[in-house]
Copies of this chain bind each other. A is one copy, B any other.
Amino acid sequence: MSSPELYRPIELTFDGAAVIPADRTPLTVRLRHAASQAERVVPGFWDGGTTYRARFAADLEGEWTWQTDSADPSLAGRSGAFAVERGDDRGPVRVAHRFHFAHADGTPFRPVGATAYNWLHQDEPLFTQTVDAIAAAGFNKFRFMVFPQGGGYVEHVPALMPFEKTDGRWDVSRPVPAFFQRLERAVEMLGEHGIQADVLIYNAYDRGQFGLNELTESEDAAYLRYLVARLAAYPHVWWSLCNEFDQLERPDDRWDRTGALLAEIDPYDHLRSIHNWIELYDNNQPWVTHASIQNGSVTTDFGRANLYRDVWGKPVVLDEIKYEGDIPERWGHLDAEQLVHQFWVSTAAGCYASHGESFVTPSGSLHMVEGGPLRGDAPARLGFLREVLDGLDIAGLDPIDKWDDPAYVAGIPRRQYVQYLGRSAPTSWPFRLPIGVPGERLQEGDRFEVDVIDTWNMTVTPVGRRFTLTEVQRNDAYDRASAPIDLPEGASIALRITRVGG
């Protein structure tokens, strides 16, 4: 094999003497980084027959040694060594600058996500087409469920299920290796396309069809340990406990405990969230790394989504803001212009959003259920949004004057700003910036360049002249000497305002 790479999974395989029920951890691997003496411990897992594996992703370059520990003598006391080199991987995405994300190597990550809940359970060619389509559109995060979906708009029932049954009941001590190998292949495929895998662990959409929503809390925990042992070494995994968790009638404290368990057992501390239906989860819980919110209405106007940032002090990803499509349900018939608008409103609020499509597919399903080619007009514009975000000089956009700026300008004070002018730009924009707290205060003489971003036509046009602050008031600053910027009236325009001196 080629030399193990930093942040990439390194797989160790062991042939055991017997089948160990998978609700127990069959072995652990203790790893030591030679130079720093840092120690890591990862769980192994059963992978069929008497095959056991453990996966490890190194967060430090150089020599590592390892040895196994197990109650089973055939798996205990194995040892080895490897050397890790830096490759292209930037490492897991973490929370950065309180409200934003960055890879382990510090590179900002700006999620612009896609969604197809039941994708994992589709056959080829749909399975691969889906990933190709979302990658081509420029999405960099993808939400999908491990367990299969039941209910409306679901037109395909998978043969492969995650567990065997014992006495007619799902038996979490007997996972189906082929199911989880397929899941891993799915996660790998996303990674190969540069897409973060936002893995929905439990499922509120079973609706009694498969009964996987009826596992007990301890069965859920056994499955969680198994899933983490298999997937956590993939750097691009995000954990989401459930989509619309409150469709399941469970006390919140069961979710609290499950989330806390996940935080405890994941050796890599991947991002963790839970997504709401009608009732919001308490995202102040320490196990939650970022809020994953369903509420389209907060993205339909300014001054809303930013409120969620304040209450949790964590990044906010609006993982359901309704869908581009043509079904009668009001969650599924946004037009592309409106959906793109809502992404830009989310951006100006210092938040992130996810896309989904609800056009009816040839099978009678929806893209957001099964995946497939994208048909809407939004994806290209969202790929463009992502390019704009990736082109920013700053770690993330924060509302500058969060509760008082009538223009909802976001950015980092005195460095770079984005102002979104909404779906219908005025004929011109006189240079004005909010001051806000905290952060550096604008000064007379500060110089800026401005780019006019057409969010629908996907153009970035430098204004081509510089603006200099001539008047700094209590809460706003102006260039009164320069002519206003002419805008394409009625278009969906954003402005990127970058300080270049002064």
Contacts and interface: CB of A to CB of B under 8 A. Distances in A.
Nearest to A438: B278
Contact of A311 (B297, B308, B404): B308
B403 A295 contact: yes
Interface of A: prevailing SS: loop
In the complex, the count of this chain's copies comes to 2
Interface stretch (A142-150, A194-202, A219-227, A299-307): A299-307
Contacts of A307: 295, 298, 304, 307-308
A265 interface: no
Given A278-B437, A311-B311, A297 B303 contact: yes
A387 interface: no
Interface in A258-292: 278-280, 282-284
B280 A282 contact: no
A303 B282 CA distance: 20
Nearest to A475: B330
Contacts of A328: 474
Contacts of A426: none
A328 B473 CA distance: 12
A308 B309 CA distance: 11
A313 interface: yes
Contacts of A350: none
A296 interface: yes
Given A304-B304, A307-B304, A330 B279 contact: no
Contacts of A308: 307, 311
Contact of A296 (B297, B298, B403): B403
Contact of A404 (B304, B313, B330): B330
A301 B306 CA distance: 14
A393 interface: no
A192 interface: no
A15 interface: no
A444 interface: no
A217 interface: no
Interface of A: 278-280, 282-284, 295-298, 300-301, 303-304, 307-308, 310-313, 328, 330, 403-404, 437, 474-475
7 contacts: A279-B310, A280-B310, A296-B404, A297-B404, A300-B303, A303-B304, A307-B308
